Amino acid sequence: MTNAPLRWGIMGTGGIAGAFAQDLQLTESGVVAAVGSRTAGGAERFADRHRIPTRHGSYEALAGDPDVDVVYVATPHPMHHANARLALEAGKPVLVEKPFTMNAEEARDLVDLARAKDLFLMEAMWTRFLPHIRHIRELLPRLGDVVTVTADHGQWFAADPAFRLFAPELGGGALLDLGI
């Protein structure tokens, strides 16, 4: 092991990929070393916006980049399985944006592959690392046995059938997106 920052490769160039690139700049543990997109132009624009030195016009090129230590999969939901598999097959540890996969069969496939290759694989469930969630975990033992929890989540979006959140085939909706 080394104390050098992890060199991240970001697979995808959407909004969550941009948020990850910005947030990683606030740490000392990692740097964005490369980005991969379906197109060279997409990779160039994203890399210019986030000052990323290496740009790949394909996910395959990013997965094969020897200067990338770990891959963050931030592609559209239905692509998570294939993209994570691509990175694992290239020998890279992988952090997959939610939802991990579109179904249990795909999830089992990735877990089996990661175990076979002895590689780290995790869903990017950032909520568990938020300060208020950590504080709640500290408070819970003082409360005794918790038998019921009621929670609500509300968020408004303009109804647009083409928008990812309203398209089940894209993994949108409460089950695979907002509700996670």
pLDDT at site 2: 66
pLDDT at site 161: 84
pLDDT at site 64: 98
DSSP per-residue codes, 116-164: HHT--EEEE-GGGGSHHHHHHHHHHHHH-----------------TTSG
The H or E element that residue 19 is part of is helix 15-24
Half-sphere exposure of 148 (CA within 13 A, CB side): 1
117 is catalytic: no
Structure tokens belonging to residue 49? 């916006």
pLDDT at site 149: 86
Q: Which residues fall within 8 angstroms of residue 175, CB to CB, at 6 or more apart?
A: none
pLDDT at site 1: 54
Active site residue: 56, 80, 81, 98, which one? 98
Going by C-alpha positions, the residue among 102, 94, 107 that lies closest to residue 11 is 94
pLDDT at site 173: 76
Indicate whether this model's pTM tops 0.75.
Answer: yes
pLDDT at site 77: 93
Spans in the chain with pLDDT lower than 50: none
